[in-house]
Amino acid sequence: MNSYLTLEKAAKTEYVVKHSRFITTVAPVTTNEEAVQFVADVRSEYGDATHNVYAYVLREGQMKRYSDDGEPQGTAGMPVLDVLLKEGVTDCALVVTRYFGGILLGGGGLVRAYSHSAKLGVDAAGIVRMSLCAIMELKCDYSFYGRVPALLADFEAQTQDTQFTDEVTVVFRMPVENVAPFEKELTERSFGKFNAKKLSETFAAIKI
């Protein structure tokens, strides 16, 4: 898998319906340990709440977990998880904290409240596409360097470092699927004089 969707940042939102207060806390996570700790931290922060309903989805082991935390079965945890699944995001965790306001919402009302709260949290966090990128290094002379920025832009590359010595060394990141066509174009434009080498691979965020 060369790309996946996840949340851009941690976020917190609040929603009130029939005097019940729903606080959504959401954050990117990458492991089950991080997700469990995130849920524990939120539960500690809102230890006096009526419920702390959670859901998280991980690429690691294709894991999906949720909890109703005392709400009627199927009215809280699953609706929250469904929001994450419908948005197509992974490597993220979400907790909806409820302070009961004294008025029963009913099964349908709970589903709507938890679903809406979860969606508010996801929207506040933002969604990014994580794409597998190659970290590349190009060494060239000063006369060719003037053509490099435009060349990199053509292949969605992001310059990370440039060093000027007796030659120019450019370290940049680009989607892995662009590496082969980039190398072909570089060979043609430099008449085979310069080539780039791959240093490593990493996932990098592209906001959508």
> Which residues does residue 130 pair with via DSSP β-bridges, in sequence order?
4, 205
CA distance readout (Å), 6 to 22, 36, 56: 23, 18, 11
Over residues 24-82, the pLDDT tens digits come to: 999 999 999 999 999 999 999 999 999 999 999 999 999 999 999 999 999 999 999 99
Query: Taking the model in full, what pTM does it have?
Result: 0.79
Judge contact between 68 and 54, C-beta under 8 A. no
pLDDT at 2: 81
**CA 41/CA 46 separation, integer angstroms:** 9
Domain covering 3-125 in this structure, CATH number: 3.30.230.30
Query: What stretches in the chain show pLDDT beneath 70?
Result: 1, 207-208
**Segments making up each domain of the chain, as ranges:** 3-125, 131-207
CATH number belonging to the domain at 131-207, selected among 3.30.70.240, 1.10.510.10, 3.30.360.10, 3.30.930.10: 3.30.70.240
**CA 196/CA 24 separation, integer angstroms:** 46
CA distance readout (Å), 169 to 134, 141, 157: 16, 9, 15
**CA 105/CA 201 separation, integer angstroms:** 49
Judge contact between 82 and 56, C-beta under 8 A. no
